[in-house]
Structure 1
Amino acid sequence: MIVNNRMTTYIHSLESPESPLLEQIEQEALAGYVPIIRKETQSFLKVLVMMKQPSRILEIGTAVGFSALLLSEYMPKGGQITTIEKYEKRIPVARENFRRAGKEDQITLIEGDALEVMRTLEGPYDFIFMDAAKGQYIHYLPETVRLLADGGVLVSDNVLQDGDVIESRFAVERRNRTIHSRMREYLYELKHHGQLTTSIIPLGDGVAISVKKERMV
């Protein structure tokens, strides 16, 4: 636990509902034990997108398409989202959810390994949302920086691992030690990367927000 549960519950109680379809998709995902972004993270993303007004968004990790649909509601009219998903069972669900929302022309889902797909993409993207396999974030970072526009925003979700990231690797379960060490490496790289300025926020399960520095002319 990162934030007091009572505080989280209070914050959730202040939220206004999204569209009926988004609310339904969220409930379907939760019922099917599909991990989706938490309520407080949803609010944070909405505010960031409304502030940044990105015309091109890249999402790494589609799941059932909930977060892509949420982002599409708050980005400028005519904006485009590219989202990547590898897990075959979730891909048809996401495509159907995009169809249900009438967002098939706005959201492009690419199937395959995220790193391999990213290497084929051409930037720049104004906004990148990282919400895939946590142990792979560090491997995605070089391509992420390449694809991100100068002044663009990278949001990395679930970076504090319910607080485990601060523990010694020997204090976490053996099966989680590789992810633990890779996430610590990722956070260090974000904070010390020459092209990024990053803030790590104990929101939801931990969010890192990075801005790519403008090139000096």
Structure 2
Amino acid sequence: MVESYSQNANHNMRRPVVKEEIVDYMRTHLLENQGHLAEIEAFAHEHNIPIIQHEVVAYFRLLMKTLAPKHILEIGTAIGFSALLMAEFAPESQITTIDRNPEMIGLAKENFDQYDSRKQIRLLEGDAVDLIKGLDQEYDFVFMDSAKSKYIVFLPEILKHVKKGGLIVFDDIFQGGDIAKPIEEVRRGQRTIYRGLHRLFDSTLKHPGLTASLIPMSDGLLLLRKDEDDVILSD
């Protein structure tokens, strides 16, 4: 019997951390966006356009400064906020971003014309399934923030364009906690997303060619490091 610790030792380690008050603390204490990023963030909130939450913004600042990726691929441009964020904090990077929503594309183009001063960002218009196949670049960082049910559809082709050692980040992978429920408890309109995300987890979390981490930040992030030159996902 181990006597060094009582049964009540490390009680705090057994409590869920991401409570509402902790989320609020992160969103009010981390460094605010500045300049054009603050303006785009305010526009997104005013018009109910989903962009990455503030704690994820702070995390991306850290990732960009630490990893200093040279070639970035983003699936899901929206109004261009996250692409401009990555450009700001990885100033040597070249960013390819893909979207198919005409209204979002129009707004993103306006923002890129105005704020992409180093001309780092290339916007591709159309369905990612088709456009990914035609990419002629290897990427060391990929950000996936599009249709969640399509993550597993996009991933096999994306892996062909990611360098060994490259990082792929998927946003919104917990679906407000639905992902941990039995499918019968999930609203019918959300079950396609549920199934797609579970296929993603089943294919990646224990894959020998990937290092995976789930991060309970915002609505959840999945991080995958490509550890081998060729990674083939099982069905």
Which residue in 2 is equivalent to 1:25?
40
Per the alignment, residue 37 of structure 1 pairs with 52
CA distance in 2, matches of 1:156, 1:137: 8
> Which consecutive unaligned segments of at least 5 residues does structure 1 have?
none
Distance in 2 of aligned mates of 1:119 and 1:104: 27
Residue equivalent to 1:198 = 212
| Shift, 1:215, TM fit | 4.2
Cα distance in 1 between the residues matched to 2:213 and 2:143: 15
1:161 equivalent to 2:161? Answer: no
Matched, 1:87 2:127: no
Identify the residue that residue 154 of structure 2 maps to in structure 1: 140
**If you compute each CA radius of gyration, which structure gives the higher value, 1 or 2?**
2
Instruction: Flag structure 2 segments of 5+ consecutive residues without an equivalent.
Output: 1-16, 231-235
Letter of the 1:45 counterpart: F
State the alpha-carbon separation in 2 of the partners of residues 33 and 91 from structure 1: 16
Task: Pick which of 97-106 and 35-44 moved more.
Answer: 97-106
SS in 2 for 1:155: strand
Q: Which runs of 4+ in 1 moved over 4 A?
A: none
Number of matched pairs: 214
CA distance in 2, matches of 1:194, 1:47: 27
SS for the counterpart of 1:128 is: strand
Counterparts of 2:63 and 2:120, CA distance in 1: 19
Q: Which residue of structure 1 lines up, in the alignment, with residue 78 of structure 2?
A: 63
Q: 1:210 aligns with which of 224, 227, 234?
A: 224
Q: 1 CA distance for matches of 2:47 and 2:153?
A: 29
Q: Report the secondary structure of 1:89's partner residue.
A: helix
Task: Write the distance in 1 (CA, Å) between the matches of 2:66 and 2:167.
Answer: 11
Q: Is the 8 A contact 2:97 2:123 kept in 1?
A: yes
TM-score (norm 2): 0.87
- Taking the TM superposition and a 5 Å limit, the aligned residue runs for 1:113-152 are 113-152=127-166
- Give the residue type in structure 1 aligned to 2:119: D
- For residues 103 and 59 of structure 1, what CA distance do their matches in structure 2 show? 19
Bigger RCO of structures 1 and 2 (CA < 8 A, at least 6 apart): 1
